[in-house]
Amino acid sequence: MSNAQTDNSAFLHFAGVDLGRDSLTLTVIDRQGKECLKTKDFPTSKAGFRRLRKCLGAFPKLAVAFEPTGNPSLTFLKALDGFDAKLFQINGRVIRRRATSLTQTKTDAADAKAIAETVRDIAIAKPGELEHFRIVWNAEHANLALLATEYTERVEDVRRLKVRADHLEHQSAPMAVELRGRVAKDLKAAEKARDQAKQEMAAAAKACNGDMFALLLSIPGIGEVGAANLVREIGSISRFESADALKGFLGMYPARRQSGKTEYPAHLAKHGNSAVKSTLFMSGHVAARHNPTCKKLFDRLVGKGKKRIVAIGAVMRKLIQIVYGVLKNKTPFSPDFA
């Protein structure tokens, strides 16, 4: 058993935090699942965070878990920087898969309890897996997370304006000409903002972990956007004991669904960071053409009659295997060892 597993299995208390923009809800349970602290609300202010730290300080050997919620998550993480407890950021789909209470009673208190129960279950049943969700405050990582979100929003701005421009092309009203000019101007500005956001995100990834970023860029098919998102999501490759563990964390595996004798088509697991999955999907298409290892796999599967989308899914999973090997061995990609 690893040191991480030993530490994670020694927790005595588990805190679940449901984060909001203006307040947060806290629940604490013990290893038997008994509630040690009645649900409490705290404002997300300096005074509120001081009260929260004082409250949490009453529980030794504590694991604190919360869902990723953008800026509220980063604010919470910074507020607990240096606090004597381990923090875990757990994807909401993992929580909902383990805790049915979220589908029965949807309140902040129920959510906080479900989060606490989820981190407790993982710590007891699979302490090594819990380390995948470990997170600590880091200014460079916070910048990267913020700029990755900014880039995603700027990409969506460009997409929306292109759809609008296409719609106006088919309009015959006299005002359509003027509107097309306005949209074209807005689109040009949006594309410039998108390109700037991409450069800033890449710079933030280098500042966060330049060695990891460079290693990821050595893999044909993974560009700056994909590499930056992987740096953001993986953190340290030492958190993962195998390539399969990394695939599971990212949600990069086919989820089967069966009822009786009926086997439904498998689809990609629903949990995992959507931005990472989206960029990996694009990387899969590029890798199927330009990465020799992935191209061989893609051509073999298509040659067997598999649908192209199924083959791309296999390429995406192969890419994660390559990512794991490159980062674990700290060696740039080589088709001879992939």
Domain map (residue ranges) of the chain: 11-133, 139-208, 234-329
Confidence of residue 259 (pLDDT cuts 50, 70, 90): low
Q: Give 196-207 pLDDT, tens digit per residue.
A: 999 999 999 999
Measured in whole angstroms, the distance separating CA 143 from the mean position of its chain's CA atoms is 15
Rounded distance, CA 161 to CA 190, Å? 8
Question: Would you say 230 and 247 are in contact if contact means Cβ atoms under 8 Å apart?
Answer: no
The tokens 């060892």 sit on which residue?
Answer: 337
- pLDDT for the residue numbered 101: 44
Paired tokens of 190? 């949006």
Confidence of residue 265 (pLDDT cuts 50, 70, 90): low
Cβ neighbour number for residue 242 with a 10 Å cutoff = 11
Which region among 81-90, 218-227, 258-267, 270-279 has the lowest average model confidence (pLDDT)?
258-267
Q: 191: which residues sit within 8 A by CB, 6+ positions away?
A: 158
pTM of the full predicted structure?
Answer: 0.77
Q: What is the torsion angle, in degrees rounded to the nearest 10, for the CA atoms of residue 293, residue 295, residue 297 and residue 301?
A: 180
Closest CA to 322 of 229, 217, 248: 217
DSSP string, 65-89: EE---SHHHHHHHHHTTT-SSEEEE
CATH architecture of 11-133: 2-Layer Sandwich (3.30)
pLDDT tens-place string over residues 173-222: 999 999 999 999 999 999 999 999 999 999 999 999 999 999 999 999 99
Beta carbons within 8 Å of 129's beta carbon, 6+ residues apart? 122, 245
Q: Does residue 48 surpass a pLDDT of 70?
A: yes
> From the centroid of its chain, how far is CA 45?
26
Integer Cα distance of 234 and 212 in angstroms? 10
Strands of 31-146, DSSP E: 35-43, 62-66, 86-89
- Give the pLDDT of residue 103: 47
